[in-house]
Structure 1
């Protein structure tokens, strides 16, 4: 099976619980769709655990870069201030990072810097699919000769031009429906809690004909959010 989880936000125990609930094993593919750090209680414990999984030949685990991973990277590079990261929800992560040795900081910085932005898969329900944290940025759309948006080229262009702006963008939710209907691949993303998308204000996974959002608000548990895992092959969702 191929499982997707987004926006874990430092919830180490919740992550282990959901892996147990889906009976995850090393024959499965697990894609973490960004934002595993910030907001929650155990950011570095989760990050180091995921790093070991990603780098181990015993697991099929991929971590995609989200905006909160980018904040982590920028802080270590000296291009994001402590106060700004704190305002973005990174205070607990920053405090833990500040206690690390220079070697540990460098290793984590390089790990995060080299994370992929997106991956591709073939969904039995939605066909060719791009999995990415934030979706698309309409300022960088690339069109094919047939008039459809080349999603992959658009992502590459946006990241090359302005990675920060691309990863904080929520354009996929706000752009005209006519643009979304022209996407040449289905998109599965996180980034924006689904309570902002569902008409009933719920935190269930949001789906339409162009894209799916699987950020069910684990970074906002006090408001009713939860952690969800989406199975590509069955189109089913498990929550904790």
Structure 2
């Protein structure tokens, strides 16, 4: 095995370790804080996740004030990790994210990744397409993209030594009202992040033959 291949093997195993060791952690050291600079780095790395037409419709409301976490506590069904974690990240889907297409594709042109005329045609196409879509269709697309970025966020956090747990158990209406979230943003999930006080429970997964099928679906 060459030095390059050996290095690739090591990097591959490190990546697999991050995936395999990640757990949903529900107990946190309440005194642990995440510096704002490091939180921004975690979020920036998470946003390397793919999205439809590269429109990046995810938005993050990072709640790290103890007072505001107390406010969130009853909204999130009194889950203790809301109080104990360093922060709770509300992942929101921007239903009007397509309005930033001009900025996104302009940055693509500036980076030398796309000719200006191509970028202009993409902006016109996607802005027109999304503006004419029913809200339910836009929401479905946004939920997919926010699911992708959320998983990437949790893996990045784990690689940096932090623990997380995704939470779907919260009152979306009360969250929107309590934190003055405009209608264009759809709450997708909450992610608690911090230093775990207890390890997450190990879990099992179905064997691959139960969930993956090649070329045709099994008969019911």
Q: Flag whether TM exceeds 0.5 (same fold).
A: no
TM-score normalised over the length of structure 1: 0.23
TM-score normalised over the length of structure 2: 0.24
Q: Using CA pairs below 8 Å that are at least 6 residues apart, which structure has the higher relative contact order?
A: 2
